[in-house]
Structure 1
Amino acid sequence: MSDKPSDQPSVSDEDWAAFVENAREQGLGTEEQSKALRKVRPKKAPKAPKAPKAPKAPKRQEPAGWRTGPAWQEMNGRAARRRKVKGVVGIALAAALALVAVRPQLFTGLLPDDVTSALPSSWSDRPEDTTPLAAETAAPTSAPDDVDPDRPTLKEPFRGSPAVRWADGAAGIEPPAAKATGWMSKKQVEDALKRSKDFLVASNLDPAVLKGGKPSAALRLIDPKFGNLRSEVEQALARPTEEHDPTIVFSRFDPAEARVVGSVVKIRGRMSVEKGTGKDSGQVLVHTDYTFVYPVVKARPGADAVERSIVRRVLTFSFVDPARFRATPGKLGVSDWDAQFGNNDCAHPGNGFLRPTFDEDRAALPQPSRSGAAVDPYDRSKTLGELPRGCGTVTRS
Structure 2
Amino acid sequence: MWERLVQDSERDIRMSEAPKEPSARARMVTERLRQQEARGELPPGWRTGPAWQEMNGRAARRRKMWTIIGVPLAIAVAVVAMKPSLLPGDPFGTDTDTGRGAGTQSAAPLPDETAAPTTAPAAAPGTPTLDKPFAGSPAERYADGAAGIVLPEAKPVGSFSKAHVARALAQTKSLLVDANIDRETLLGGTPETVLDKVLDPKQPEMLDDARSWLRKPGKDSDPLWLFSRFDRDEVRLVGDVVKTHGRTTFKAGRDGALAIHADYTFVYPLAPADPESIEVTRTIVRRVIDLELADPAKYEVTPGKLAITRFDQDLSNTACDVYDGFLHPEFDSTGPTGAPPTGPTTDPYDRSRDIGQSRTESCGTVSRT
Give the alignment's TM-score, normalised by structure 1: 0.65
Partner of 2:345: 374
Distance 1:251 1:367 in 2: 20
Q: For 1:352-389, what per-residue CA distance to the aligned partner results, in whole angstroms no more than 9, with x for missing partners?
A: 111111112116x454350x211000000121134252
2:277 maps to a residue whose letter is: A
Instruction: Give the secondary-structure state (helix, strand or coil) at the position aligned to 1:180.
Output: coil
- Structure number with higher helix proportion: 2
Is 1:256 the counterpart of 2:228 in the alignment?
no
Q: Say whether residues 1:362 and 2:315 are aligned partners.
A: no
AA aligned opposite 2:348? P
> Is 2:187–2:230's contact at 8 Å kept on the other side of the alignment?
yes
Give yes or no for the alignment of 1:174 onto 2:150.
Answer: yes
Distance 1:366 1:286, change over 3 A: closer
The residue number in structure 2 matching 1:152 is 128
CA distance in 2, matches of 1:316, 1:293: 21
- Alignment match of 2:264 (pick from 271, 279, 290): 290
Partner residue, 2:316: 342
State the AA in 2 paired with 1:139. Answer: A
Q: Distance in 1 between matches of 2:165 and 2:359?
A: 34
Q: CA deviation at 1:234?
A: 0.3
Structure 1, unaligned stretches of length 5 or more? Answer: 1-122
Aligned counterparts, 1:60-75, within 5 A:
none
After TM superposition, the structure 1 = structure 2 runs for residues 1-397 of structure 1, keeping only pairs within 5 Å, are 130-148=107-125, 150-220=126-196, 221-277=198-254, 281-348=255-322, 350-362=323-335, 365=337, 367-368=339-340, 370=342, 372-389=343-360, 390-397=362-369
1:91 maps to none
Distance 2:269 2:218 in 1: 25
Distance 1:124 1:352, change over 3 A: farther
Structure showing greater radius of gyration is 2
| Identity value in percent | 44
Deviation for aligned residue 1:128? 8.3
Contact 1:347 1:368 in 2 (8 A): no
AA partner of residue 128 (structure 2): P
2:40 aligned partner: none
| Aligned residue in 2 for 1:35 | none
Shift of 1:331: 2.0
Shift of 1:283: 1.7
1:297-345 deviation line (CA, Å, top 9, x unaligned): 1112222211000000000111111111122233211111000011010
For residues 188 and 363 of structure 2, what CA distance do their matches in structure 1 show? Answer: 24
- CA offsets, 1:149-170, max 9 Å, x none? x211111100010000011100
Moved beyond 4 Å, runs of 4+: 123-129
SS at match of 2:176: helix
* Whole-Å separation in 2 of the counterparts to 1:304 and 1:176: 40
Separation in 1 of the partners of 2:168 and 2:178? Answer: 15
User: For each residue in 1:195-227, what CA deviation from the matched residue of structure 2 results, as whole angstroms up to 9, or x when unmatched?
Assistant: 000110011111111111111122112111014
User: What residue number does 1:77 align with?
Assistant: none
Q: Which residue of 1 aligns with 2:86?
A: none
Q: What are the Cα deviations for residues 101-141 of structure 1, in whole angstroms up to 9, with x where unaligned?
A: xxxxxxxxxxxxxxxxxxxxxx8859886101110000011
Q: Secondary structure, in 3 states, of the residue corresponding to 1:198?
A: helix
C-alpha contact 1:369 1:391 (8 A) present in aligned 2: yes
Q: RCO (CA 8 Å, sep 6+): is it higher in 1 or 2?
A: 1
The 1:264/1:366 distance shift into structure 2, 3 A limit, reads: closer
Contact 2:229 2:327 survives alignment (8 Å) = yes
Task: Give the Cα–Cα distance (whole angstroms) in 2 for the partners of residues 129 and 271 of structure 1.
Answer: 25
Distance 1:302 1:392, change over 3 A: same
Instruction: Quickly say closer, same or farther: Cα 1:362–1:212, change in 2 above 3 A.
Output: same
Matched position secondary structure for 1:362: coil
Structure 2: how far apart are the matches of 1:283 and 1:237? 29
Cα distance in 2 for partners of 1:388, 1:218 equals 25
Q: Is the CA contact (8 Å cut-off) linking 1:141 and 1:381 kept in structure 2? A: yes
Calculate the aligned-residue CA RMSD, in Å: 1.8
The letter for the 1-side match of 2:257 is: Q
CA contact (8 A) 1:152 1:158 kept: yes
User: What is residue 32 of structure 1 aligned with on the other side?
Assistant: none
Q: Deviations over 1:86-115 (max 9, x none)?
A: xxxxxxxxxxxxxxxxxxxxxxxxxxxxxx
Mapped contact 2:320–2:338 kept (Cα < 8 A) = no
Q: Is contact 2:312–2:356 with CA below 8 Å preserved after alignment?
A: no
